[in-house]
Amino acid sequence: MDTNNKVDLTISGFGVAPGGDYGTVRISGRGKITGDITCNELIITGSADAMGAVSCSRLHITGEAGIHGDLKAKELKVRGAGDFKSSDATDDFSVSGTAHAEKSINAGTAKISGSVHVKGDLLADSFSSSGMFEVSGLLSADTVDITLDLSTSKAREIGGERITAKVGVTGLSVLRTIFTLGTHTPRLEADSIEGSSVWLEQTRARVVRGHDVTLGDGCDIVLVEYSGTLHKSGNVRVGEERKLG
């Protein structure tokens, strides 16, 4: 994005600004943008509300932000708290804080180490999580890599070429297990999980479908359908197994 001759916008106290075409927008106080905004960078370290649509190359949130219109950003990073009211499209979506999306998120790469709640779908080329997520609709990516460390993560449907959900062995997970006297059990819950290669641990699902399916300790699956191989190890419960021709 060409930023030549564009005015930068800075709000360090309390301020209200109109929409417009800016270079870099920085909000470190309490700011409100009343209309649609286009900019190269939108950096929020304070508290901000953008009432219209936002289009930018980089949106970094380390404070609190509410985006009320459609969002398009090449890079969206949430280290604080982000509340997204409309459709979101981004090449690089990463959350180490908390993010709430009222509708769907479309991303190239999605990396979650914090907490994400999506009331629509979360669609990406690649998805990885070591935090916690709740997706009311479809979680879909070519590669879905889930490390279960913090608590229960949920999605109505999970689809992809390669899907992996395994219990982590990080220090945080170990400490939580010790302090809860072994009752800390992170889990993945879904109505259906479907992929070519599926490897699951500590997962509760109604249906799991895949070519090659591996079920590890803590899996509780009502129906497994597979066309290649099915491997089970540890404490696994499966209601019905179907080998497809």
Q: Which amino acid is at 214?
A: T
Rounded Cα distance between 190 and 221, Å, is 10
Instruction: Give 202's pLDDT tier (boundaries 50, 70, 90).
Output: very high
Do residues 203 and 222 touch, judged by C-beta distance below 8 A?
A: no
What's the pTM value of the predicted model, to 2 decimals?
Answer: 0.90
The widest CA-to-CA distance across the chain, in whole angstroms, is 66
Do residues 72 and 90 touch, judged by C-beta distance below 8 A?
A: yes
Would you call 104 helix, strand, or coil by DSSP?
coil
Rounded Cα distance between 19 and 38, Å, is 8
Instruction: Give 4's pLDDT tier (boundaries 50, 70, 90).
Output: low
> How high is the mean pLDDT of the chain?
92
Residue 217 per-residue DSSP state: T
For 133-189, the DSSP string reads: EEEEEEEE-SEEEEEE-SSEEEEEEEEEEEEEEEE---HHHHHHHHHTTT----EEE
Rounded Cα distance between 107 and 51, Å, is 22
Q: CB neighbours of 220 closer than 8 A, spacing ≥ 6? A: 203, 204, 205, 236, 237
Rounded Cα distance between 189 and 112, Å, is 17
Average pLDDT over residues 184-203: 94
Please calculate the CA angle 100-103-109 and round it to the nearest 5 degrees: 70
Q: Write out pLDDT tens, residues 41-100.
A: 999 999 999 999 999 999 999 999 999 999 999 999 999 999 999 989 999 999 999 999
Rounded Cα distance between 148 and 166, Å, is 6
Which sign does the torsion angle of CA 172, 65, 155, 110 carry?
negative
pLDDT of residue 80: 97
Do residues 187 and 204 touch, judged by C-beta distance below 8 A?
A: yes
Rounded Cα distance between 140 and 125, Å, is 8
Instruction: Give 21's pLDDT tier (boundaries 50, 70, 90).
Output: very high
Instruction: Give 22's pLDDT tier (boundaries 50, 70, 90).
Output: very high
pLDDT of residue 171: 46
